[in-house]
């Protein structure tokens, strides 16, 4: 066996072993660079009463009240004076774009796009129109939310949207609900992304991400315990990158982009 052949085989072996490691390290570094600015957040293992009682959960995901797993994250952002009248829709759209179109979800997104399968199914989600299908992150607007019923990457579907104008003395919450899995299978779940405004804190907003999942057909845990730990880490990274996308939006020229709520006073 000649020396060239030996070195060629060794080189090929090194490439086969080393390339995935290099790619994994690069992906990890890219994720870190995206999320490092969002280091302050709070998490819990419960979701809000409003989400628990929502149509998304009581009629679509978990109508039988089966055992479920849940967790939530939130962070409070202090808004610069020039961005305090940005619309909730714009903030939520930025969060959605960061969540589904960001670096953290890149590998999952690529696999879903390659497979082109329909992995989400909820018969109770009655739509009067054919749902929009989103297969590319470029189709996720930085200004507007996907329409009700839209299916993202074949696996996530918009089940509810509520947008509220913060123009009174009461606390307001705007949100978008996203379901995944199937009501006829053994795995169903939902995310809620929300923006909360408190009139007593006019320069601040709260961004929340709530998630829950269950086995909708059998009253049993839908996954082993170790899977919950993995999910929590993965979801935390998704939350941090999504908030980073909101921060990026706030740093752009919002007024020129037409994203501010109309000021009825004329000022």
Residue indicated by tokens 């940005």: 86
Q: What is the pLDDT of residues 141-165, one digit of tens each?
A: 988 999 999 999 999 999 999 999 8
Q: What is the pLDDT of residues 20-68, one digit of tens each?
A: 555 455 445 455 455 566 666 799 999 999 999 999 999 999 999 999 9
pLDDT surpassing 90 at residue 131: yes
- The terminus-to-terminus CA distance of the chain in angstroms comes to 84
pLDDT surpassing 70 at residue 214: yes
Sheet holding 172-181, edge to edge: 42-44, 68-78, 204-214, 188-197, 172-181, 156-162, 151-152, 133-134
The residues with which 207 forms a beta bridge, in sequence order, are 75, 195
Q: How confident is the model at residue 264 (pLDDT cuts 50, 70, 90)?
A: very low
Give the pTM. 0.84
Q: How confident is the model at residue 2 (pLDDT cuts 50, 70, 90)?
A: low
Among 30-34, 63-67, 181-185, 219-223, the least confident range: 30-34
């Amino acid at each position: 066996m000649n020396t060239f052949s030996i070195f060629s085989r060794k080189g090929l072996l090194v490439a086969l072993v080393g390339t995935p490691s290099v790619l994994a390290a690069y992906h990890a570094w890219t994720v870190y660079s995206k999320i490092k600015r969002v280091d302050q957040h709070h998490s819990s293992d419960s979701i809000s009463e409003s989400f628990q009682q929502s149509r998304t959960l009581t009629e679509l995901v978990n109508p039988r009240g089966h055992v479920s797993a849940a967790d939530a994250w939130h962070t409070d952002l202090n808004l610069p004076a020039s961005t305090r009248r940005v619309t909730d829709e714009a903030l939520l759209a930025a969060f959605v774009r960061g969540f589904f179109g960001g670096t953290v979800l890149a590998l999952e997104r690529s696999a879903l796009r390659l497979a082109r399968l329909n992995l989400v199914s909820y018969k109770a989600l009655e739509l009067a129109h054919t749902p929009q299908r989103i297969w590319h992150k470029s189709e996720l607007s930085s200004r507007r939310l996907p329409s009700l019923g839209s299916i993202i990457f074949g696996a996530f579907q918009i089940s509810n949207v509520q947008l509220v104008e913060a123009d009174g003395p009461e606390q307001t919450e705007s949100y978008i609900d996203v379901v995944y899995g199937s009501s006829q299978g053994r795995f169903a779940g939902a995310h809620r992304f929300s923006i909360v405004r408190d009139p007593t804190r006019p320069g601040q907003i709260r961004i929340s991400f709530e998630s829950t999942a269950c086995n909708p057909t059998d009253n049993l845990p839908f996954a082993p315990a170790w899977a919950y730990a993995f999910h929590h880490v993965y979801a935390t990274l998704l939350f941090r990158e999504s908030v980073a996308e909101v921060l990026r939006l706030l740093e752009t020229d919002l007024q020129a982009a037409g994203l501010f709520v109309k000021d009825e006073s004329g000022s």
